[in-house]
Each structure stands twice: as structure tokens, then as C-alpha cells.
Structure 1
Amino acid sequence: MKHLPLVAALICLPLPALAQDTGFGPAGILSAKNKQDLEPITLSAGMPLTSAPWVLKSGTYYEFEIQGDGSQELALTGSDFFRAIWIDEIVVEGLEIRPLGLDSIEFDEAGEMEIGFLAIKPGRYHLMVPGSTGETQRLDITIE
């Protein structure tokens, strides 16, 4: 009985007053309105990974492709970056993988993978080819 005035007040409110407009669609932060595509990463012997660093916004969903040309066995490491994001899925040849975490990936031969993730923790991170020292073999990433 003591909650009756609160229930009565809620019933009298128009329905739109109860729903908050977040600007996202029905899927919330995973909706298409909150998704951005990033420049692909290219894994090729001696070639730059991307043309420019990535600047990401916390709370935004991103997708990118990694394209390996098979010129050499190449990997990408970036455990700090992978811990600063939530990985929704990794797609390899139509197979969807939903990992709890990731430390690195490696291409032993030519192929493609797509990674979808939500940027979470602001900071400066990088992905790099392990053992390399060249700036073109490193992708600097900032999450704002």
C-alpha cells in the first residue's frame, strides 16, 4: 500500500516520458547507428600496417579487416589494446568466434579476418608485428 502513490504517478505519465532516448537503436550500443568501419590492416612483408594511426571514441563499436597476403608468416600483438576493448566477434572464412580475450593473432598463409569490438578504456595503445622495430610495422591507437 505504501507504494500506491508511486504506481499511480507512473501510470499517469505518458509512455514517451518513461523511455529515454539514448540516440541508439533498439540494440543500444551495438546498433548500426553506433558502428564505424576502420581502415583495414595489411600484413605483408615490409609493408606498412595502415596509412595512419587510429583515433577511437570510447563507447563506439568498430569493425576492421586484417588482410594477410601470405608473403611471410606474420603476427600482430597488442595485449594492452585487446584488454582495453570488448571483442564482440572475430570472423574468419564465415566462422564467427566470440572470444573472452585476445593477446595476438597470426597469419601463416594468405587470408582475411574481421574483428568487431567496442572501444572501452581511454588511453594510448598499439598493435605491432612482434620482433619488428620499424614504425611502419606498428599501428598506434588512441581511445578518447
Structure 2
Amino acid sequence: MRYALIAAALLAATSAFADDDDAPEFGLAGILSASNSEDLPPITLSAGQPLADAPLKLKSGTYYEIEIEADGSQELALEGAGFFRAIWIDEIVIEGLEIRPLGIDSVEFDEAGTMEIGFVAIKPGRYELRVPQSSGDLQRLDITIE
């Protein structure tokens, strides 16, 4: 009897959600569906240059892809353990090689190259990515997850 009541409650809850016009409409891939993804402007690693033109504002539950481009002018890294723990990383692609890590703290470019990171924003808050041991605002990217 108890299982029948639980099943009826779940059925009522899911049918009420299915009729909700505000409910997100994803494809068979769920939150990884193309309708739930967005490309972000690239991050540029270059000696003395800003990382990005503006701060990033992300929405929790949305899939994003971002390219990190290094021009090779200097060996540069990008750290942001707080941000990397607030997202779920689907994959990192470097020269056609796909990496599916459990998590990362930082990335580093010893020479020119491009890396693409696909991720789902999860935990709302304010975060930053920065060049390690730098103090200037140009070497920091502020990120907000709503």
C-alpha cells in the first residue's frame, strides 16, 4: 500500500511538472542538449594583456563551452580552484585530444595553443580565474554563476 501511495505521488508530481509552461524543455540528452548550451567569449593568455573583455555571467544548469587561447608570449597558467569546483567538467579538448577529468585546479600553457573546456555551471556564487601570483585586474576574470 505504501509503495502505491508513493508511486501515485510521484506520478502526480511529474504530470504537474510536465504541464508547467515554465519547465525547461530539453532533448533526450537532458541538460547536455543543444538547446541548453552556449559558447562563451574566449579567454586569452598573453603577457600583459587582459584575460577577457568583460566578466562572465553564467546560469546554473546551463552547458557552456569556452576556449582558452595562449599566444606563446610567455609561459602562463590560469588558476581558479573555487570556480572549477563549482562546475561539472564534461571534457577538455586539446589539439583534438578529449580529456574527461574528475576535476582540475589550474591549466598551464608552455607555448602557444588552444584548449576548449565544456562544462555545466552548477553552484551559484562569485568566482575568479587568474594568472597565478599576479596582482593586476587585467590578469583576473570575474565569473558569477546565478
Q: TM-score, normalised by structure 2?
A: 0.85
Count of aligned pairs: 134
Out of 67, 71, 83, the residue aligned to residue 85 of structure 2 is 83
Q: State the match for 2:132 in structure 1.
A: 130
For residue 58 of structure 1, what is the amino acid of its counterpart? S
Question: 2:59 & 2:76 partners in 1: Cα distance?
Answer: 28
Q: 2:46 aligns with which of 29, 35, 44?
A: 44
Task: Report Cα offsets for 1:42-74 as digits up to 9, x if no partner.
Answer: 000000000000000000000000000000000
Unaligned runs of 5+ in 2: none
1:23 aligns with 2:25: yes
Question: 1:26 deviation in Å?
Answer: 1.2
Structure 1 residues 18 and 57: alpha-carbon distance in aligned structure 2, compared to 1, 3 A threshold: closer
Q: How many Å apart are 1:22 and its aligned residue?
A: 3.9
Equivalent-residue separation in structure 2 for 1:54 and 1:42 (angstroms): 14
> Could you say which residue in structure 1 is the equivalent of 2:141?
139
1:60 counterpart = 2:62:
yes
Report whether the alignment pairs 1:71 with 2:73: yes
Q: Please list every run of at least 4 consecutive aligned residues from structure 1 whose deviation after the TM superposition is greater than 6 angstroms.
A: none
Q: Which amino acid aligns with 2:52?
A: T
* In the alignment, structure 1 residue 107 sits paired with structure 2 residue 109: yes
Q: Which residue of 2 aligns with 1:120?
A: 122
Q: SS of 1:112's equivalent?
A: strand
Q: Which runs of 5+ in 1 are unaligned?
A: 11-16
Query: What SS does the aligned partner of 1:80 have?
Result: helix
- Other structure's SS at 1:71 match: coil
Once the two structures are TM-superposed, the CA of residue 130 in structure 1 deviates from its matched residue by 0.3
Q: Using structure 1 for the length normalisation, give the TM-score.
A: 0.87
1:40 CA drift (Å): 0.1
Q: How big is the alpha-carbon RMSD for the aligned residues of Structure 1 and Structure 2?
A: 2.1
Name the SS for the 1:52 alignment partner. coil
Cα distance between partner residues in 2 of 1:26 and 1:18: 20
Larger-gyration structure (1/2): 1
Inter-CA distance 18–124: structure 2 relative to 1 (3 Å threshold): closer
Calculate percent identity across the aligned residue pairs: 72
